[in-house]
Structure 1
């Protein structure tokens, strides 16, 4: 069965999991970890993403983040491609470093944000990389130490997470740490590493109970959240896909129109798109600009990109064309 497309809307809460190929290590030493975090920090600032929690293990990484205006894929592509290339050069290896695609689960913030922060930051404890919460407090390769003030970086959303625990900084840190202590014995939480009906409802028994009552709940393996949340995310994704498809159809339509009109006017398409100023080229450009902006509803900025001139030139061409029609 083909994999479903990622749900990648700007501002969405994602739990991202990155694993080494065949379970192999993706970090050999602290220099590798520092390089990965430096790249992550730079890309967070460039893409506008917001990191809420993170943990680097030897063979995998957990990130909890709000995607930026460009969505999740731009950040992850640049992060993983850049790091893998650097890692391979440094360690004299070739081939893939990461296992298939990274895994990303869209999560319902109200229900899962704090649970995921705790789950991700306790990863080193569950793996016995650190022996206690006290040791985790100063552990460099998890966002936990940043939240309680023992470690520092300038790209983690510390205030946003602590704000969920109270207004005063000291009070919030104490409440957060108590929250972490209460979760130490929870063990592995499979319901927090994926989506789908069973995970979203909190277990198979909840699914059976729902079915026994004759009720249905919308679900999707890419989403961790209640039925209403799942429905809203999928509806938004469908609407975005329709907009993208419409945009692609319009692009094809515009390109075909320009090609046909250039042929009719015996003007080379390269000259038109390259900003040519011959009288015949300018006249054709004005005609096409009028068709695109006044009849097809295309923005002047988009028309300018298609026709090889600036937006002011399109505005002037439209005024001249409209004046000609009045005369």
Structure 2
């Protein structure tokens, strides 16, 4: 089946996934990770894209981001990708692209899916055996969102604020969610939605978005439907 065209909507969070070609490594050393973080910070400011969460894995990167305008997220990802590959190739004496193709992603209903998606994203280091706990992994936003350190390039989404009345309460509540992790079912739903371009949200959310585009927003009805409520654990 042909891949759906990517959907970008202003003011809504997007789960974005970019993988190495044939899942080859895209980071060779600590300087590469630092370079990618610098680019995300710089291009986020330049293109008015708010970053809520990220993880840099050896062969892929995942982002949770909200673009200010409808056309800005592709430009942001293109700028990050091209600049990173150019620097990576110069440093490591290689040529050609690193990426398997254009990035993939999906739009999230914030209240139902932002927190589950954050947990799925920041738990990828644990899922892939790179760390015992999400906050132990150095190349992600987990420590910031759990209150262990400050990362100035990140912006908390309003859905995160619903976790508590004070910063400490929110950070403690999120740290508990992160330690508990996401169920295999929720992980599968989030990652497959990002890979396939299916919108994650309840019926009313999806129907409202469907009025704005002719593009199909959910998978066809064969199989189990994606639910609007997203339990973690």
Aligned pairs (5 A) from 1:127-138: 127-131=128-132, 133=133, 136-138=134-136
Cα distance in structure 2, aligned partners of 1:119 and 1:169: 22
Q: Aligned to 1:168, which of 166, 169, 180?
A: 166
TM norm structure 2: 0.83
Larger proportion of helix: 1
Cα distance in structure 2, aligned partners of 1:145 and 1:66: 20
Q: Deviations over 1:37-73 (max 9, x none)?
A: 1000011111221111111110011111111224311
Query: CA offset at residue 181 of structure 1?
Result: 2.1
The structure with higher relative contact order (CA 8 Å, sep 6+) is: 2
Cα distance in structure 2, aligned partners of 1:159 and 1:13: 9
Aligned residue for 1:116?
A: 117
Q: Higher mean Cα deviation, 36-45 or 168-177? A: 168-177
Q: Higher mean Cα deviation, 120-129 or 146-155? A: 146-155
Q: Deviations over 1:214-267 (max 9, x none)?
A: xxxxxx95312223222222322359xxxxxxxxxxxxxxxxxxxxxxxxxxxx
Larger radius of gyration: 1
Number of residue-to-residue matches in the alignment: 212
Query: CA offset at residue 16 of structure 1?
Result: 0.5
Query: CA offset at residue 86 of structure 1?
Result: 1.0
Q: Which runs of 5+ in 1 are unaligned?
A: 197-219, 240-327
TM norm structure 1: 0.60
Aligned residue for 1:101?
A: 102
Measured on the aligned residues, the alpha-carbon RMSD in Å equals: 2.3
Cα distance in structure 2, aligned partners of 1:194 and 1:71: 23
Q: Aligned to 2:177, which of 158, 176, 179?
A: 179
Runs of 4+ in 1 over 4 A off after TM superposition: 159-162
Q: Which runs of 5+ in 2 are unaligned?
A: 216-233
Query: CA offset at residue 152 of structure 1?
Result: 2.7
Report SS of the residue matched to 1:224.
Answer: coil
